[in-house]
Amino acid sequence: MKIPKIIYTTWISDKDLPVKFYKYIESWKRILPDYEIRMITLENAPRNRFSDICINNKKFAVAAQYARIQRIFETGGLYFDVDVEAVKSFDDLLDYEMFAGIESKSDNNFINNAVFGAHKEHPFLKECLEELDKINLSIKDIEVSTGPLMFTKLMKRRGWIPENKNIYLNGIQIFNSEYFYPYCPDEQFTSDCISQNTYAVHHWAATWKNSVSIIILSGQKFNQLIQSIEIATTQSVKPIEVIVMNGTHDYTKSIKGMTQLSKVKFLDSGNGNSSSVKNAGIDFAKGRWILILKPDDKIDHAFIEKTIDKGDIVGLNPDTFKNIGDTKSKSGCFLVKKEVWETINGFDETLTDGTEDADFLNRARYEGYNVKVVND
């Protein structure tokens, strides 16, 4: 039995699909033109006790975990997350009963469910549905526990040993990480990540996670930059990435070897003004939350921990948003949801006098976003 040429994807949410994902769906149409694309949404998601609880509590990502498995179980087909880019045809994978891929993180290997395929009523998917039906929905990290961790746990029951290599086991072909996950969440994607074995690239958007990207602005003296990187990498809530905006001073070579760079990326910001540099950094960032560090910003190592999820834009110091209505005033350091930046079209690049933060905050508040100060 062949896997049918159907691609399921999920966007179960009360908000529209962000524009940034359109390009990935277009890659499916371009690379896989004879495949039918079926998007599972809030309106057409399968309803049952599990999904009803998730949707009513706005745990949309967890509802999506169930929906993808149920639909593939019912009809067979492929599943792609909305942040998956197709690289080449999947036609030669359709003869497998089921396939999935390994997400490799150093010595820890997981079987991810952002890309997989199966024929109708595959027994592994039945096991997944049974596992989901009995799971405690109040457990920590429920989104991961109902996704990659569940796939991995159930494959281990079938005898899978967590090694990053191809293996066929009990009706399931497991591919190594270069097939669908050629780079890790804390790595920077380049075209060099793609090999002759790469069918698709998962771009790690993780829209459900409280992931944080820290952007360090250029124009700093070397010692200031080192201090900013230290502040960023030693936060009690770890960022998924630290993006150093390289401007006129490129300290990349000097920094390498002097600090822990496992999550530090360097982005050429050119000679643009502060607004354009911020916009470029945020556009590049993967995190759901953004923290921008300017040369003179001094924050403690629990800044993210104290501010995350306390509002849409959150600062610690009352002076952060002092005189927010005055576009000539300058603001302090704040944590902001990337969604806010997307909605209000970023920082105004016509402002070049350092007042772009106040303007940004004004427009965000006008759109109804919650701007809040948390007492330190």
User: What is residue 91's predicted lDDT score, i.e. its pLDDT?
Assistant: 98
Domain check: are 273 and 177 in the same one? Answer: no
Identify the domain boundary among 202, 231, 261.
202
Q: Give how far the C-alpha of residue 73 lies from the chain's centroid of Cα atoms, to the nearest Å.
A: 26
Domain check: are 188 and 234 in the same one? Answer: no
Residue-wise pLDDT tens digits, 248-301:
555 665 665 554 555 788 888 766 788 999 999 999 888 889 999 987 788 888
Domain check: are 120 and 146 in the same one? Answer: yes
For 270-273, the CB contacts below 8 A with 24+ separation are 271/247, 272/349, 273/349, 273/351, 273/352
> How many domains is the chain partitioned into structurally?
2
Q: Count CB atoms within 10 A of the CB of residue 240.
A: 19
CATH number at residue 345: 3.90.550.10
Q: Which has the closest alpha carbon to 105: 48, 184, 32, 30? A: 184
Domain check: are 167 and 240 in the same one? Answer: no
Domain with 137 in it: 6-202
Domain check: are 147 and 243 in the same one? Answer: no
Backbone angles phi, psi at 23, to 5 degrees: -65, -30
Alpha helices by DSSP H, listed for 111-174, are 123-133, 142-145, 148-157
Domain check: are 124 and 234 in the same one? Answer: no
User: What is residue 249's predicted lDDT score, i.e. its pLDDT?
Assistant: 59
Domain check: are 342 and 302 in the same one? Answer: yes
Polymer length of the chain: 376
Domain check: are 318 and 185 in the same one? Answer: no
Domain check: are 235 and 358 in the same one? Answer: yes
**Exposure string over 109-126, b if 16+ CB within 10 A, otherwise e:** bbbbbbbbbbbeebebbe
User: What is residue 104's predicted lDDT score, i.e. its pLDDT?
Assistant: 79
Rounded CA separation 354/170 (Å): 61
CATH number at residue 198: 3.90.550.20
Residue-wise pLDDT tens digits, 50-68:
889 889 988 888 899 999 9
pTM over the 0.75 mark = no
Domain check: are 260 and 359 in the same one? Answer: yes
Residue 330 included in any domain: yes
Q: What is the DSSP string of 77-114?
A: EEEE-TTEEE-S--GGGTTSSEEEEEEEETTEEEEEEE
Q: Count CB atoms within 10 A of the CB of residue 194.
A: 18
Q: Assign residue 79 a region: left if phi > 0, alpha if psi is -120 to 50, beta otherwise?
A: beta
Alpha-carbon radius of gyration of the chain: 22
User: What is residue 320's predicted lDDT score, i.e. its pLDDT?
Assistant: 55
User: What is residue 327's predicted lDDT score, i.e. its pLDDT?
Assistant: 46
Residue 271 included in any domain: yes
Rounded CA separation 31/274 (Å): 38
Rounded CA separation 128/130 (Å): 5
Residue 207 included in any domain: no
Kindly give the pairing relationship between strand 172-175 and strand 167-169: antiparallel
Domain check: are 169 and 247 in the same one? Answer: no
User: What is residue 37's predicted lDDT score, i.e. its pLDDT?
Assistant: 99
Identify the domain boundary among 202, 222, 248.
202
Residue 1 included in any domain: no
Residue 81 included in any domain: yes
Weakly modelled stretches of the chain, pLDDT under 70: 105-107, 140-141, 186, 206-209, 219-220, 247-262, 270-271, 317-332, 376
Domain check: are 165 and 84 in the same one? Answer: yes
